[in-house]
Amino acid sequence: MINIIMPVVKKYYTVSEKLAILKILNRRRLDNNSSYREIARELGVDPSQLRRWEQQSAKLEEFYAKRKRNAKALHDGYKSQLSHIEEELLEYIFEGCEQGLPMTIRLVTAKASELDDTFRRKSMVAKEHAIRRFVKAHGLVHRVHTHESQRSLAEAEEQATEFVLQMRPLLAERNRSQDYIINMDQTPIFFSMVPRTTLSPIGARTVHVRTSTSSTMRATVSVCITASGRMLPPLIIFKGKPNGRIQREFTRYNQGAVYVVQENAWMDERVMKIWIERVLTPYVATAPQGVRPLLILDSYRCHQMPSIVQLIEEEGTDLRHIPAGCTGLCQPIDVGIAKPLKDRVRHSWEDWMVDQGTGTRRFSPPPRALLSEWVVRGIQSLENALIQNSWRHGRFSFFDEDLNIDVPEDVHNNATDNANNEVLATEGTVQV
């Protein structure tokens, strides 16, 4: 009889699995004071492994926080060939996601090739493999696009509720006024706003929809509202070079907005500073004595830059960031403003398309000046009650029903008069 000795297959645990086992270990030891050996036998791991993992718990938590949850070794591995452009590449990806652009491997590969000439000369296969390793190392994955976060709704709701409950007593302080509780966010506006559906005969195999050329052209609109229902002048970002032809056209645009150019039509650090200087600072300067303005922003990378945080706080404005993934639940602009604004712009675009006539063989995109007119007109048409209700969204309301956070009436009236005068004074075209 021949005894066959089966090889022992060693199991390698991921960071997530190790932390889960350590959690069970701590709970078991508290419950029944079991030894390492007894607990290890129950969990199917060696006692020495448990002791080693416990000693490495801080490092394990660090890897977990870096989204390296599936790592099986506590080291960073070989240095990436993209490490010298890592910050620029991640900023490009995050800004693209913020603007709703489809971030693909090929798109990121093209950006890396633009940033690094040595990388550009590699074969396409080598470049794509490098980018795939890069995105995996930073915890990025391809997901089906949705309006809301892909994490569980219960988790997002719990975090959003916690944020709102933390904000309510802050907004109830005596030095607050709803005129100076502010929310700002960016939303993309496309030059061609083609609907997803169209009328078609039953049974038709081909459904044809015409659109204007360059249908992916877009601008970014920075919308800013107050809890009292006020709307501050919007900042509209067009794609272009500073001091170029597009910027020189701004004098012909609608006088109710601030205009700026950026090479990707995105909100970045430079544009954010312009918004603070041209929109936020003039408005908060009208706050009466004893009133402390408060600005609520989402967790977009640009909004959390130390230079931006410092600049806002130097203006005498408190700043709070909404947790990532919760904006669809508790950010006032996302909840009640973005869709009504886009609907109004879309209606203007549809009227313009009708005016072009069915005989037009080729539609060009609407002029920038016309798009800015639609945006300003859409913002000015948003009702005061609609803006106020965007702050009061069911259990995610920032205010209790019986909460009175306004300053005394005479101070409130003075603040309102000052703010009205300031907004009228700032409703001129600003070229940047």
pLDDT tens per residue, range 288-337 = 999 999 999 998 888 989 999 999 999 899 999 999 888 889 999 999 99
**Of 137, 163, 178, which closes a domain?**
137
The answer to whether residue 340 sits within a structural domain is yes
DSSP H helical ranges for 85-137: 86-98, 105-115, 117-120, 124-137
d(CA 43, CA 190): 56
Residues 100 and 235 in one domain: no
More confident residue, 94 or 203: 94
Q: Among candidates 228, 264, 259, which has minimal Cα distance to 431?
A: 259
pLDDT digits (tens, 9 = 90+) for 197-207: 555 455 656 65
Note whether 410 and 270 are within 8 A (CB): no
Residue that has been written with the tokens 């000046």 in this structure: 369
The answer to whether residue 71 sits within a structural domain is no
Q: Which two tokens stand for residue 393?
A: 């969204």
d(CA 32, CA 402): 49
Q: Which two tokens stand for residue 226?
A: 């107050």
Mean pLDDT of 62-90: 71
Residues 351 and 385 in one domain: yes
The answer to whether residue 181 sits within a structural domain is yes
Predicted confidence at residue 276, as pLDDT, reads 96
Residues 177 and 232 in one domain: yes
Residues 234 and 297 in one domain: yes
Residues 115 and 225 in one domain: no
CB-based contacts of 184: which residues, under 8 Å, 6+ apart?
222, 223, 224, 225, 275, 280, 295, 296, 297, 333
- Coil, helix or strand at residue 35: coil
- Calculate the average pLDDT of the chain: 79
The answer to whether residue 198 sits within a structural domain is no
| Domain assignment of residue 129, given as a range | 83-137
Residues 94 and 174 in one domain: no
pLDDT-derived band at 431, boundaries 50, 70, 90: very low
Residues 57 and 172 in one domain: no
Residues 108 and 20 in one domain: no
The answer to whether residue 59 sits within a structural domain is yes
pLDDT-derived band at 416, boundaries 50, 70, 90: very low
Residues 98 and 243 in one domain: no
The answer to whether residue 408 sits within a structural domain is yes
d(CA 356, CA 362): 10
The answer to whether residue 21 sits within a structural domain is yes
Q: Looking at residue 292, which CATH number applies to its domain?
A: 3.30.420.10
Q: Which two tokens stand for residue 125?
A: 């296969």
Compute CA distances 85 → 11, 119, 133, 380, 427, whole Å: 36, 11, 14, 42, 40
Q: Which two tokens stand for residue 40?
A: 């290890």
The answer to whether residue 260 sits within a structural domain is yes
Residues 99 and 184 in one domain: no
More confident residue, 358 or 317: 317
**Element holding 239 (H helix, E strand):** strand 235-239
pTM to 2 decimals? 0.62
Note whether 307 and 343 are within 8 A (CB): no
CB-based contacts of 144: which residues, under 8 Å, 6+ apart?
150
Residues 52 and 104 in one domain: no
Residues 88 and 132 in one domain: yes
Note whether 236 and 265 are within 8 A (CB): no
Q: Among candidates 265, 244, 282, which has minimal Cα distance to 431?
A: 244
- Give me the number of domains the chain comprises: 3
